[in-house]
Amino acid sequence: MQNVIETIQPAISTIVTAIVGVLVTFALAGINTLKNRANNWLDARTTDAQREVIHKVAGEAFALAQTAFKEAGGERKLQEALQYASLTLSSQGIVVSQVELKSAIEKAYLEYKTKTKAVFATEAQPNEEAAQAAAKEAVSGLAAKLNEFLAQATAEVVLVPQAQPEPEPVPAPTEPTQVSVATE
């Protein structure tokens, strides 16, 4: 029996070594796949983080151009915003094309316009309600004055015939008067 074990032992060692090799190969392939997925995930996260930074810097650039260059035209403001954003991002090591940067600044501009329109709409709403209330009050006041005027006018019409004094009697002449009649 010992002879059989000594003869089979090198074959078993070879088979066990082969099986361990195959298992290690599969483990390394799995680890490599996980590493690639982790790198892709980190790259995607880094890109998302960079996009957030780009959009924040674009918002700052738009705000700077809007306040510092009030009198300048839209194109000049855009150029100033592009210059500021480009310098700021390059100092942080983020490389962005001019088209991407311009689109981020335009997005900040559109968000600003949307917010200001929303603010104006909410501010106009209470003023509009107050104006409507004032108009209703004015109309009701005008209606009351008109009713009062009509009441006075109809009262005067009714009172005018009653208010006429009776004609005074003509006193009878005490002396006879001569009337001359001219004949032709």
pLDDT tens digit sequence for 149-159: 666 666 554 44
For residues 85 and 106, give the distance between their C-alpha atoms in angstroms, rounded to a whole number.
Answer: 12
Distances (CA, A) of 139 to 4, 33, 56, 126, 144: 119, 79, 52, 20, 9
From the number of C-beta atoms within 10 Å of its C-beta (0-12, 13-18, 19+), residue 11 rates as: exposed
Taking each helix axis from N to C end, the angle separating 74-91 and 98-163, rounded to the nearest 10 degrees, works out to: 140
Instruction: With 0.75 as the threshold, say if the pTM is over it.
Output: no
pLDDT tens digit sequence for 87-118: 898 888 888 888 888 888 888 888 888 887 76
Distances (CA, A) of 92 to 31, 67, 136: 33, 24, 61
pLDDT tens digit sequence for 26-73: 988 988 888 888 777 766 666 777 888 888 888 888 888 888 877 778
Non-local (6+) Cβ contacts of 156 within 8 A are none
